[in-house]
């Protein structure tokens, strides 16, 4: 289990490769990556605020629950904070399991919890002003399935 | 007791953290005390349904007791990932 | 859309990175990687036979369906054939979508179809002999959800 | 008509492909012809529920017609991924 909360960029390819290579008898590896996207066309950058201390604790709690619940062999979570430009990677999770259904479910579970239960807040810096990203009802609803 | 504010709660109140002395027994009582202090607090706490609270870095309810709590954080719903 | 059926190994990290980097306004990228695992402890290698021509067609059909059905921005499928040792990567899929639910569903859909509808057959070369891997009922059942 | 065999079907029959002349109207009729040829074919086609068939590289049923079909492939259930 490896959880990192950091301001610096991470190398998605190298992290994904190292994670997959490190798996002994896990046949299935799933990764998810979130990328800053410019939906409206005027995004200059995205700023992510977090709650140092609580963030790490929350991610660890959810990672541990995923490990047990989906019998994962390993979990990796990297989440950045600070300022990022469109196209930059915000975060990634990776899961490894003997079978693909567990690896997929573990990654989706982690993402659903990370979205709505880990203390991160996104602010969009637009050409015309700034705006805190509103939580989406469907993200909260997604937790209902677990 | 240490109070922390994040995202637009921090911006509305105008500071990221402060130390307060309080007799409040629950989060809701603490919020009432803060609202009574100044207009910027009243504005930040106007709609509790748009807010979340964590006690010593664990999510909690607004009616949770404050006994032995050292750190209270207020913030909007989270938007990570 | 990029589909490759090849005997040579592929560089998972580099492929995943290039795929994620290439996405314009897709915020979510999911990858799945299948790795040869030695479940019983006596596996020397895994040999994958395929049906040249039909394999590419079947993968393309499923990729196109996934693109439309889950409104994906892009799909990558790489599947190897020939002999592979434990720890080697057999295949990968990657999907990109504006939202994470579609990226996850697209990847799971592709994997379910790839498992049971693309003409690949696995043979295990054990220290004690060889054995064609039997299709699992749960893989066939998994198609029922789509 | 070109016949292709994969995985253990190929191993039991002992060859990967062959060309046959046939009057069979369906896959099932073709299978009966093949089974009548030699013991190794009878063995390979003993249990059709363990087999799949593709006509011109598209999955098909055993009762599918063979009219205009150029390539018939027999193989066990697929195990990719």
Within 8 A by CB and 6+ apart from D55, the residues are D27, D64, D66, D69, D71, D72
Chain A residues near residue B76 by CB distance under 8 angstroms: 121, 132, 135
Whether the Cβ atoms of residue D57 and residue D73 lie closer than 8 Å to each other: yes
Nearest to C96 by CA among C56, C59, C145, C63: C63
Q: Which of A119, A120, A129, A141 to mutate to test the interface with B (most CBs of B within 10 A)?
A: A119
- Nearest residue on chain D to C137, judged by CA atoms? D77
Class level of CATH domain D2-75:
alpha beta
Confidence (pLDDT) at A25 = 80
Nearest CB partner across the interface for C111, out of D54, D76, D81: D81
Summarize pLDDT for C27-67 with one digit per residue, the tens: 999 999 999 998 878 999 999 999 999 999 999 999 999 99
Does A contact B via 3+ CB–CB distances below 8 Å? yes
| pLDDT at position A124 over 80 | yes
pLDDT score at C23: 83
Residues of B in contact with A118 (CB under 8 A): 78, 80-81
The DSSP string of A78-138 is EEE-EEE-TT-EEEEEEEEESSHHHHHHHHHHHHHHHHHHS-EEEEEEETTEEEEPPPPHH
Please state the length of chain C. 146
Q: What total number of domains does chain C contain?
A: 1
Q: What is the pLDDT of residue A67?
A: 97
Distance CA A136, CA C37 (A): 40
Q: What does the pLDDT read at residue D77?
A: 97
Q: Which of A51, A54, A114 sits opposite B81 (nearest CB)?
A: A114
Task: State phi, psi for A52 to the nearest 5 degrees.
Answer: -55, 135
Q: What is the CATH number of the domain that holds A91?
A: 3.90.1170.40
The answer, yes or no, to whether ipTM is higher than 0.90 is yes
Residue range(s) defining the domain that contains residue C118: 2-143
* Alpha-carbon gap: C25 to the closest alpha carbon of chain D (Å): 29
């Amino acid at each position: 289990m490896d959880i990192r909360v950091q301001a610096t960029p991470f190398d998605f390819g190298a992290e994904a490769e190292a994670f997959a290579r490190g798996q002994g008898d896990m046949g299935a590896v799933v990764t998810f990556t979130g990328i800053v996207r410019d939906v409206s066309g005027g995004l200059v950058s995205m700023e992510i605020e977090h709650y140092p201390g609580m963030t790490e604790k929350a991610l660890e709690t959810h990672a541990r629950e995923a490990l047990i619940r989906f019998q994962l062999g390993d979990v990796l979570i990297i989440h950045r904070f600070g300022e990022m430009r469109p196209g930059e990677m915000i975060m990634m999770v990776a899961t490894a399991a003997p079978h693909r259904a567990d690896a997929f479910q573990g990654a989706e579970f982690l993402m659903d919890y990370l979205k709505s239960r880990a203390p991160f807040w996104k602010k969009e810096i637009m050409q015309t002003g700034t705006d805190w990203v509103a939580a989406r009802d469907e993200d909260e609803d997604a937790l209902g399935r677990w | 007791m240490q109070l922390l504010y994040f995202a637009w709660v921090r911006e509305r109140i105008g500071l990221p953290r402060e130390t307060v002395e309080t007799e409040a027994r629950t989060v809701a009582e603490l919020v009432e005390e803060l609202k009574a202090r100044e207009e910027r607090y009243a504005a930040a706490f106007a709609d509790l349904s748009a807010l979340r609270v964590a006690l010593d870095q664990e999510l909690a309810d607004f009616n949770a007791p404050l006994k032995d709590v050292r750190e209270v954080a207020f913030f909007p719903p989270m938007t990570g990932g």
